[in-house]
Amino acid sequence: MLPLAEAREYVLAGCAPGHPRAVPLGDALGLVTSVDLDAAEPVPPFDNTAMDGFAVRAADTAGASDETPVSLAIAGTLAAGAAPEVAVEPGQAVRIMTGAPMPPGADAVVMVERTTVDDSGATVGVHVTVEPGNHVRRAGDDVRAGERVFPAGTPLEAAHLGVLASVGVRRVPVHPRPRVGVVSTGDELVDGPEALGPGQIRDSNRRMLLALVERVDCTPVDLGRIPDDEAAIAAAFEEGARSCDAVISSGGVSMGDFDYVKVVLDRLGDMRWMQVAIRPAKPLAFGTIDGTPVFGLPGNPVSSLVSFELFARPGLRRMLGHAVLDRPRLLGVTERDLRRRPDGKVHFVRVTARYEDGGFRVRPTGGQGSHQLAATAAANALVVLPDGDGVAAGDAVEVLPLGDVGTLT
């Protein structure tokens, strides 16, 4: 059997990041920058007010308080998006709305709650002494012109897109989003609610794998369910390799399988058929067809999911340009015995994990068979059990989340 680390190294070596290209900012969520990104302009682009209130000369507010307010003449009103039309002279104030540019002569803002306007609307009473710069957002306070906002290799989340929009970026150089084809093969597979015939099962893996591909920020491409026909299977893989950046199939990768998938992939591609020292998901195939990575995952649904998590997900993240390929490994405590027999493999136990009293506590979800997908759907993490006899309740265990860490509640 092949050690897990060696199998992963082989897979990752065949998953190169996509050739960089610029995409519209609105399409860049989840992608990774391919170059350093510098600001061409400052943010904010001009001095502006952080509050609704009055733009003033700070010196004019000296000694102002609730008991002895300072009276200033209102010289005008300035809304956000408007250019100043008047300067603030000594003894004057300009009514100003949040985000509006500071008018010439003003060096501070008094928030509206600390002012009172007389009945005529001609003067304002200031009830607080302010310093220069009070409630003023200076030009470049967030981003300076020429400043590096994000280095190459930055995964773009919503806030990143907001920053790029604020400095005028409309197209972003990134590693492109891979199109990932998912194919199911087998006469025994049935789609939809129609009645099952003898020996038939419903195709769950394809729907699950398409969803997993989408969760990795790739574009899933449904290559369909293909019957056990060598020509049809070859056509599906050839089309996948031509139109997609990677292809994922499930089933037909075990040592004893007699399956057209093996015949076709060996003829079309450069494939390696592996038995990895893990449980579930021991059988794995990986290689390329005309340079397109092909993942052959095991057919049992739990094995397919675990294999995707350990091999396909990090491979696809590498194609996206990520530096961090795996979810974080956490430390937890098991609430129940997790026993196993020594067999030379690393076991992955499906568990529910929750954060409690400063740490993660885990318990198995139920059936651990590689066919028991419903029990796996109740899990939010895997416990990693090294070869040996397992662990007892209360022991520390390594926890691998199956989603964002925030889902471990």
Q: Into which CATH architecture does domain 330-407 fall?
A: Beta Barrel (2.40)
Convert the pLDDT of each residue in 3-33 to its tens digit.
999 999 999 999 999 999 999 999 999 999 9
245 phi-psi bin (left φ>0, alpha ψ -120 to 50, beta other): alpha
Residue-wise pLDDT for 34-71, tens only, equals 999 999 999 999 999 999 999 999 999 999 999 999 99
Q: What is the pTM of this model?
A: 0.88
Give tens-digit pLDDT for 92-101. Answer: 999 999 999 9
Judge whether residue 373 has pLDDT over 90: no
How far from the centroid of its chain's Cα atoms is residue 128's Cα?
Answer: 47
| Contact call for residues 385 and 348 (beta carbons, < 8 A) | yes
Q: Per-residue pLDDT for 105 more than 80?
A: yes
The average pLDDT across 312-316 equals 98
- At residue 83, what is the residue type? A
Q: Is 306 helix (H, G, I), strand (E, B) or coil?
A: helix
Give residue 406's pLDDT band: very low, low, confident or very high (50, 70, 90): low
Please tell me the predicted confidence (pLDDT) of residue 60.
98
The pLDDT of 130-154, averaged and rounded, is 97
- pLDDT given for residue 409 in this prediction: 63
> Residue 126's pLDDT band (boundaries 50, 70, 90)?
very high
What is the average pLDDT across 127-141? 97
Class for domain 4-18+177-320, per CATH? alpha beta
Handedness of CA 373, 375, 376, 382 (dihedral sign): negative
Q: Average pLDDT in the 293-299 region?
A: 94
Q: At what angle do helices 230-243 and 260-268 cross, to 10 degrees?
A: 50
The class level of CATH for 48-137 reads mainly beta
Contact, 316 vs 213, CB < 8 A? yes
Do the first three CATH levels of 4-18+177-320 and 48-137 match, i.e. the same topology?
no
Q: Which residue has the higher pLDDT, 299 or 193?
A: 299
Residue 255's pLDDT is what?
A: 62
Domain residue ranges in the chain: 4-18+177-320, 30-41+142-175, 48-137, 330-407
Mean pLDDT of the residues in the chain? 93
Range 381-397 average pLDDT:
96
The residue with greater pLDDT, 143 or 374, is: 143
Percentage of the chain exceeding pLDDT 90: 83
Please determine, for residue 382, whether its predicted confidence score (pLDDT) is greater than 70.
yes
Tell me, what's the pLDDT at 370?
73
Residue 256 has pLDDT above 70, yes or no: no
Q: Per-residue pLDDT averaged across 145-157, rounded? A: 97
Distance of CA 177 to the CA centre of its chain: 13
Q: What is the CATH number that goes with domain 30-41+142-175?
A: 3.90.105.10
List, as one string, the DSSP characters of 166-220.
Answer: HTT--EEEEEPPPEEEEEEE-TTEE-SSSPP-TT-EE--HHHHHHHHHHHTT-EE
